[in-house]
Structure 1
């Protein structure tokens, strides 16, 4: 674990000198020091870091919830649903069509629909933090799309599981989907009506007790969420949503920073451990084709989301590029596909596709002003990725 932290830090420091984002460098550290490449092997089994990696994802989404206020959710609920629905329709639909076009099989096409259709919540969160865009106006629809994706994810996994396992039980699929949706509804009601009670329970002047309290709440609810068939990350997000609106919200945001950054690095390092570069040449052309499809669909989805929210070319480019990366969910699907004995090409395809977009996504997000220039209504922006002077000034501020 110490070697993982040091390797990630060393590569990130080197990359910062040429202005590379940290995410692909953390992933690269995992690839170079994992079991699939020659030389030093720090971690021979990626599962050795599984719990720490899960904690990194939980803390990343918990922080995202802290920044996404309940008032924003209530005020923008309809726009959030429209933008999220449009994003899923374009990307999941394109993924399903791409899967059938490959001709690998119906089950494989259903898996690819999810792989190509759903963004990486962890990478999206890290990009927003690294680029200082948490306060940008287009960040609210980005977070809204992530929330809609996570709700879809719970229902999608519930429906996909009996298909991959060979079970022919619609009743079982509906039961799993209903259980997941019911728990999501319970979390939403708690976030809507239980904030004052939670705030009184967690309130303390002692920073140590506050850290233990919010960390315990986030991890516990994440675990319970997983038991109900809901992604653990969305459970942590909902806890962050509740605590961010309490009187302790500002202190929690400050205290969670070092935990989020440290375990977030381990999440991406562990992500790199699971990638075997030797498998990638066999699926090179399908991977490149899938990346091209995703690029086109994300640009279209960004334009639609910007139009729904009344934004121009700059925010549309930010939405398109920030949501580009694919990550943890695709790897979950790769594991499920391997267990279901689907086409052997599926696992290396998913690994290659995720690796390319995990690297390309943060790079593209940091240079979204290039895309803004060619979008309808585009003009030379005042700052990289910014939509106006105020945003430009905000993005130049150092990130905690």
Structure 2
């Protein structure tokens, strides 16, 4: 584990000198030091880091919830659903069509619909942090689309599981989907009406007790979510959503930073461990075509979301590129497909597709101003910030100012 941290840090430092984002470098460290490449093998079995990797994902989504205030959710609910629904229709629909065009089978096509259709919440979160855009106006629809995707994800997995397992009972599939939806509804009601009570429960001046409390709550709720058939990360996200609106929200944001960064690095490192580069040449052309399809659909979806929110080409380019990466959910689907005995080409295809977009996504997000120059629309439209390619820490300070409720100005100034 120590070697994993150090390898990720060394590669990230080297990449930082030439302007590369940290995410693909963490993944590259896992590939180079994993069991599928010659040379030093730090981790022979990727499952050895499974729990730490899961913790990294939970903390990334918990932090995402902290930055997504209930006021934003209530104020932009309809726009969020329209933007998120448009993104899913375009990308999931394109993924389903691509799957049938490959001719690998109906079950394989249904898996590919999810692989091509769902963004990586973990990578999106990291991109927003690394590019300093948490305070940008277009970040709200980006987070809204992620929320809609996570809700769809829970229902999609519940429907896909009986198909992959060969279950012939429609009642079982409906029961699993209903259980997941009921739990999501319960979480939403708790976030909507239970914030004041949660704030009282977590109120303490002792940082040690606060860290133990929010970490325990996030991980515990992630486990409960998984038990109900909902993605574990959505439970952590909802806990963050509730805590971010409490009086302790600003302190929690500061305290969770080092935990999020450390275990987030392990998540991406473990992701790299699961990739076998030797399997990639067999599916090279399908991977390249799928990446081209995803690029096109993300640009269209970004323009659609920008139109809903009346943004200009700069924010539209940011939305398109930030949501481009695919990651943890695609790997979950690859594992399910392998267990169900689907086409052997499916797992290496997913690995190559995810790896390529995990590299291209952060790079494209950092250079989104080039895309903005060719998109339709006029600079200066609502939400045009002019910093589509900005990096640095100013975005996090901006996020505090943008997303912190009234009455906590002192905390924002202190953070700056």
Residue 204 of structure 2: aligned partner: 204
- TM-aligned CA distance change 1:371 to 1:236, over 3 Å: same
Residue 83 of structure 1: aligned partner: 83
Residue 397 of structure 1: aligned partner: 394
1: CA distance between counterparts of 2:384 and 2:392?
11
- TM-aligned CA distance change 1:77 to 1:257, over 3 Å: same
2: CA distance between counterparts of 1:172 and 1:391?
47
2: CA distance between counterparts of 1:18 and 1:39?
25
TM superposition shift of 1:280: 0.2
Is residue 130–residue 399 contact of structure 1 (8 Å, CA) maintained in 2? no
Is residue 15–residue 22 contact of structure 1 (8 Å, CA) maintained in 2? yes
Q: Where does structure 2 lack aligned partners over 5 or more consecutive residues?
A: 398-416
TM superposition shift of 1:390: 7.5
2: CA distance between counterparts of 1:290 and 1:390?
30
1: CA distance between counterparts of 2:56 and 2:133?
21
Could you report, residue by residue, the CA deviation over 1:351-378 in whole angstroms, capped at 9, with x for unpaired residues?
A: 0000000000000000000100000025
TM superposition shift of 1:399: 5.8
- TM-aligned CA distance change 1:391 to 1:293, over 3 Å: closer
Mapping of residues 231-242 of structure 1, within 5 Å: 231-242=231-242
TM superposition shift of 1:389: 5.1
2:301 is the counterpart of 1:301: yes
Q: Which runs of 4+ in 1 moved over 3 A?
A: 389-396
Residue 281 of structure 1: aligned partner: 281
TM superposition shift of 1:59: 0.2
TM superposition shift of 1:397: 2.6
1: CA distance between counterparts of 2:253 and 2:346?
39
Residue 385 of structure 2: aligned partner: 388
Residue 191 of structure 2: aligned partner: 191
Is residue 334–residue 347 contact of structure 1 (8 Å, CA) maintained in 2? yes
1: CA distance between counterparts of 2:390 and 2:16?
21
2: CA distance between counterparts of 1:89 and 1:293?
14
Could you report, residue by residue, the CA deviation over 1:204-225 in whole angstroms, capped at 9, with x for unpaired residues?
A: 0000000000000000000000
Is residue 283–residue 348 contact of structure 1 (8 Å, CA) maintained in 2? yes
Aligned-residue Cα RMSD (Å) equals 1.5
Q: Where does structure 1 lack aligned partners over 5 or more consecutive residues?
A: none
Could you report, residue by residue, the CA deviation over 1:64-104 in whole angstroms, capped at 9, with x for unpaired residues?
A: 00000000000000000000000000000000000000000
TM superposition shift of 1:138: 0.2
2: CA distance between counterparts of 1:295 and 1:304?
14
- TM-aligned CA distance change 1:390 to 1:91, over 3 Å: closer
2: CA distance between counterparts of 1:114 and 1:200?
39
2: CA distance between counterparts of 1:249 and 1:108?
43
Residue 264 of structure 2: aligned partner: 264
Is residue 301–residue 320 contact of structure 2 (8 Å, CA) maintained in 1? yes
2:228 is the counterpart of 1:228: yes
Is residue 330–residue 350 contact of structure 1 (8 Å, CA) maintained in 2? yes
Residue 291 of structure 2: aligned partner: 291
Is residue 222–residue 232 contact of structure 2 (8 Å, CA) maintained in 1? yes
2: CA distance between counterparts of 1:177 and 1:183?
10
2: CA distance between counterparts of 1:127 and 1:233?
17
TM superposition shift of 1:387: 3.5
1: CA distance between counterparts of 2:396 and 2:166?
48
SS of residue matched to 1:374: coil
2:39 is the counterpart of 1:51: no
Residue 19 of structure 1: aligned partner: 19
Could you report, residue by residue, the CA deviation over 1:243-291 in whole angstroms, capped at 9, with x for unpaired residues?
A: 0000000000000000000000000000000000000000000000000
TM superposition shift of 1:392: 7.8
Could you report, residue by residue, the CA deviation over 1:151-181 in whole angstroms, capped at 9, with x for unpaired residues?
A: 0000000000000000111110110000000
Mapping of residues 120-135 of structure 1, within 5 Å: 120-135=120-135
